[in-house]
Homo-oligomer: A and B are copies of this chain.
Amino acid sequence: MPAPPRRLITGFSNPTVKFLRSLRDKKHRRREGRFLAEGLRLLTDARESGRVPEMLVMSERRDPHPLTDLLERAVEDAGGTIVETTPDILAKITGKDNPQAIAGVFAEFDTSLAALDRGSAPIWLVAQALRDPGNLGTMLRTGDAVGAGGLILIDDCADPFGVEAVRASMGAVFTQKIAQATWDEFLPWLRSGSGQLVAASLRDAVRYRDAPYTAPCFILVGNESRGLPEEYEAACDLRVTMPMRGRADSLNAAVAGAVLAYEVLATFDK
């Protein structure tokens, strides 16, 4: 079998370089339906989860690695493109001074509620107007750890396909389902089947420890500054309160979601 064609790109003004750079911008990601993930570890997580990049971009000065070989083969087998380029151009593409030696372009996934199978997992995470991409990625990572089905993003959240969210997810962006919806789409969808909606709250709440959680349990976390709108809290099946021993009355959103998710997991495991 002949070796598949490879492209070598050495010019900063090459259209492929411009295309790759543009993927750092949400508007362009949306238009192209593509996103960028960097680093051998992340790309290997993707491959092992059955996600193969359409395009693999590698530094011509990379160290050889068996995982890189596996990635190259997977991309070739899937009919994708392999591009080699200079470290300088990779730095320009990723916007980092010390870029990873490898990056991949992926097609964005279907993020409709309709694509979720709620019965496939006992726990789902739901974030409302979560603005920080690091928090979003961390919630994906936590979801992976607790065996959640995925993360549902309500209203105007950070972009799950942005570089920072993808990085913070530590590969969970490839293993967790992701859905995006408005509250007015989410609530009817939730009520069209089984599912308990739970939020941390200071109002009319029971203690979070050993509360009556039932599967599938949807754990709802609110915006970093404003928390959840009151009407969203009111629509929950269960409001739980966590101890707050200090001056503040709230936790970081991703932390609150994680403490609740581990509590729900422990309850289900009993």
Residues on A close to B: CB < 8 A?
Answer: 45, 48-49, 134, 138, 141-147, 168, 170-172, 175, 209, 242-248, 250-252, 254-255, 258-259, 262-263, 265-266, 269
State A258–B259 Cα separation when bound (angstroms): 7
Interface of A is mostly: helix
Residues of B within 8 A of A134 (CB): 134
Which residue of B141, B244, B250 contacts A251 across the interface (Cβ within 8 Å)? B141
Sort A-B residue pairs by CB-CB distance and give the 4 closest, nearest first: A147-B245, A144-B246, A255-B258, A138-B252
Report the bound CA distance from A144 to B249 in whole Å: 10
Distance (whole angstroms) from the CB of A167 to the closest CB of chain B: 11
**In whole Å, how far is A230's beta carbon from the nearest beta carbon of chain B?**
21
| Chain B: minimal CB distance from A24 (Å) | 19
A192 CB → nearest B CB, Å:
27
Which of A175, A242, A243, A262 lies at the interface centre, i.e. has the most chain B CB atoms within 10 A of its CB?
A262
Q: Are A246 and B145 in contact (CB under 8 A)?
A: yes
* A8 CB to nearest chain B CB (Å): 31
Quick one: which of B48, B242, B245, B250 contacts A247, CB cutoff 8 A?
B48
Is B145 a contact partner of A248 (Cβ separation < 8 A)?
A: yes
